[in-house]
A and B are shown apart, each in its own frame.
Chain A
Amino acid sequence: MSGVRVLVGTHKGAFILTSDAKRTNWDVQGPLFAGWEIYHMNGSPADPQRLYASQSNGWFGQVIQRSNDGGQTWEAVGNKFAYEGVPGTHQWYDGSQHPWEFKRVWLLQPSLTDPDTVYAGVEDAALFRSTDGGQNWQELPGLRAAKGHLWQPGAGGMCLHTILFDPGNPQRMFVAISAAGAFRTDDDGQTWQPINQGLISPGELPDKTAEVGHCVHNLAMHPARPGVLFMQKHWDVMRSNDAGDSWQEVSGNLPSDFGFPIAVHAHEPDTIYVVPIKSDSEHYPPDGKLRVYRSRSGGNEWEALTNGLPQKDFYVNVLRSALAVDTLDSCGIYFGTTGGQVYASIDSGDSWTPIVRDLPKVLSVEVQTLP
C-alpha cells in the first residue's frame, strides 16, 4: 500500500512523520540528531530509502548524515566543503567586500536518477556536488563566477536555498540564492547565467533592476512543464514562462506579496501555493490569521485557504523550505511553522489538519510519496 513519509528538519533535531495513503493516522519518529539544527532532510527520487540530512551546530560545525533504510539508521559521511581555488570575496552588508566562508549546508537535493549523486546548497552561497553518496564534495565554481563579488547576505545569511532539476534536460539546473537571485546552467553546472530580468527590488538594491543581488526566497516548478518557473521573492510573487529569461509579477490580490515558500500542485501545473507574511520586519501572516493562498491560474488570482487553520492570534512564520507536496492522486500539501506545527491537507488545500503541534522551530519539510 502506498503512503507518505514527511521529513521535518527543526532547530533542535529531525522528525520523520509517516502515514499510509489515507494520511489520517500518523507515526511520529524523533527527535533524530536531538539538539542539532537540521536545516534540511531529503530523499532520493531514485531510491526512496536513501535519505540525506544536513546536521549543524555552532560548536561542532557541519555533519552530513546518510540513511539507506528510510531513516531507521544513519551514518555520518563527508563534511569537507572547500571552495575551489581562492575563495575570493562577496559584498557585505555595508557594501564592502568580505571573504567567502563556509558556514553550513542549507539544502540537499539528490539527483533524479542516481541515489549517490547529491547536490548541496551552502552558506556562504555556493553549490557542491557529491557522486559517492556524500563522502566527498566538489564545488561547481562556475556559479560563483556569475558576478559573485556582487552577491550579498540576506537577513538570514548568504545562502543557496533552492535547487531545481529539469527532468527533460539533464544539462539544465536552476538555483536561487538570497540575496543574489536566480541562476541557470545549461551545461551540467559548468557555467551559469543570472536569470533575474524582470525582478524589481527598489527597497533592497541601489539599482532596482540589477542583474544580480535580488533577494529571491524560493523557486518552484512542475516537472511536466520545466520551462515555467514560479518565484517567491522578498517582495513579489513572480512567474517566468521562458525558463527564467524573463519574469512577470503575479502577486495579484494577495494581502501581502512578502513571503518565503512557494510550491506547485503535483498534478495541476498552474495551481500554486504561497503563505503571505506581513512584511520583512514582521514575519507572521497579516491580521494574525494563518492563510495559505492558492492560485489555480498560475498566479494573479488567489484564494485564501483557511479551513482548519488558526484564524486568530497566529504570529509565527513558514520558512522557505517548509512547504512541500506529495504526488498521491488527491494531492497532499504540507507545511511546518516556526512555532513547531506541521499541517497537512489531503485535498489540495481545501482543508487542513495539524499532524503534530509542538515540535521545535521547523526549518524544512520534504515529502516522499512511497510506492
Chain B
Amino acid sequence: MIRVMLPQHLRTLAQVSQEVELPLEGAKTINSGDSWNPIVRDLPKVLSVEVQSLP
C-alpha cells in the first residue's frame, strides 16, 4: 500500500479527500527484470553489488 497526498485542484478533479491509498503487489518489483525501481538514488559511485538471500 502506498499513500499519495494530492494538491487541492487534483482533489477536486478526482473527488477524493486529501490522501488516497493505492494497493501495491510486492512482486512487481522483483519480477525477473520486467520492471525496476530504485532502492536508493544518491549513493557514491557504486563499485560492487552482491545480494544475500536470507532465511
**Which residues from chain A sit less than 8 Å from chain B, CB to CB?**
284, 290, 310, 313-316, 337-339, 341, 357, 361
* A-B contact list, 7 entries, CB within 8 Å: A290-B42, A310-B42, A313-B42, A313-B43, A316-B44, A339-B43, A341-B42
Q: Which chain B positions have C-beta within 8 A of A338?
A: 44-45
Q: Which chain B positions have C-beta within 8 A of A357?
A: 41
Chain A proximity of B31: nearest CB distance (Å): 22
Chain A proximity of B38: nearest CB distance (Å): 10
A361 with B41: CB separation less than 8 A: no
* Interface residues of B, count at CB 8 A: 6
Q: Tell me if B's interface is mostly helix, strand, loop or mixed.
A: loop
Cα–Cα, bound, A310→B43 (Å): 12
Q: Tell me if A's interface is mostly helix, strand, loop or mixed.
A: loop
For chains A and B in complex, what number of residue pairs have CB atoms within 8 angstroms? 25
Of B42, B43, B44, B45, chain A has the most CB atoms within 10 Å of the CB of: B42
Cα–Cα, bound, A284→B43 (Å): 9
Cα–Cα, bound, A284→B42 (Å): 10
With both beta carbons as reference points, the residue of chain A lying nearest to B44 in the complex is identified as A315
B44 with A284: CB separation less than 8 A: yes
Cα–Cα, bound, A313→B39 (Å): 10
With both beta carbons as reference points, the residue of chain B lying nearest to A361 in the complex is identified as B45
A313 with B40: CB separation less than 8 A: yes
Cα–Cα, bound, A316→B44 (Å): 5
Cα–Cα, bound, A195→B8 (Å): 55
Chain A proximity of B26: nearest CB distance (Å): 21
Cα–Cα, bound, A290→B42 (Å): 10
Q: Which chain A positions have C-beta within 8 A of B41?
A: 310, 313, 339, 357
With both beta carbons as reference points, the residue of chain B lying nearest to A310 in the complex is identified as B42
> Which are the 7 A-B pairs with shortest beta-carbon distances?
A314-B42, A313-B40, A315-B43, A339-B42, A316-B42, A315-B44, A310-B42
